[in-house]
Amino acid sequence: MNQDRTSGTLRRRPVQRRSAERFERLLDACAELLDEVGYVALTTKDVARRAEVPIGTLYQFFSDKEGLIGALAARNLDVFLERVSARLDSEKPEDVSGIVEVTVDEFVTMRRTITGFGVVDFGAQGRDHTLDPALDNNTAVAGRLRALTATLTGVRDDAELEIVLRVALECADSVLRLAFLTDSQGDPRLIAECKRVLTGYLNDRIRSLPTR
């Protein structure tokens, strides 16, 4: 596995509304340029120009390009979890297959519709530590999913659950990446297979985990 740890950090989060608007414009511009030029060609100068924000303001928020990318990945993850939580609250699936269906569908929808998501979803491809310098991206995402999964399934929110989620995320990451390499909108056969694999694995493992 690639262990290229990004050096970037978020220097500060904006508090005032004007600063918050600039912060979001920078992330939006970053996402647009990722779709247009890709990760390697992306520069902070181009992002600031697209966002119509002074380059000095960008560096007030972000240490460098990697810090900017990390903030975009974190926003993507927040949006994803909000969307998944809202659908689960609305649909109230009664089993693991329903939870998997919602979770995979929301990821696929975001991949199809959210600017820049195909380049940086919850972490830049080839850089395993975009979200957290101390954790690879899937471990960081698994940590965020622990409480939600424990609430939905009734299992204990602990390190064992995190390992299960980490394995599930590695599987989903690989199959869904293949689905979008095969078809720009996501090969429906591979998406269905991803759901099948995740449902089988999680059904088996969650039954074996201690309950709260």
Q: CA-CA distance, 128 to 123, in Å (whole number)? A: 7
Question: Within 13 Å, how many C-alpha atoms sit on residue 187's CB side?
Answer: 13
pLDDT of residue 129: 79
User: Which two structure tokens, joined as six digits, stand for 157?
Assistant: 């929110």
State if pTM tops 0.95: no
User: Which two structure tokens, joined as six digits, stand for 11?
Assistant: 């220097």
Tell whether the model's pLDDT for residue 30 goes beyond 50: yes
CB burial of residue 115 (10 Å; 0-12, 13-18, 19+): middle
List residues bridging with 120 in a β-sheet.
124
Of 110-114, 123-127, 138-142, 202-206, least confident by mean pLDDT is: 123-127
Give CA separation, 212 vs 66, 104, 149, 158, 159, in Å. Answer: 39, 26, 12, 10, 13
- Per-residue pLDDT of 121-179, as tens digits, reads 999 877 887 888 888 999 999 999 999 999 999 999 999 999 999 999 999 999 999 99
Q: CA-CA distance, 2 to 66, in Å (whole number)? A: 16
- Per-residue pLDDT of 66-76, as tens digits, reads 999 999 999 99
pLDDT band at residue 212 under the 50/70/90 scheme: confident
Domains of the chain (ranges; CATH) run 17-208 (1.10.357.10)
Residue 185 CB neighbours (<10 A): 12
Instruction: Give the mean pLDDT of the chain.
Output: 92
pLDDT of residue 85: 96
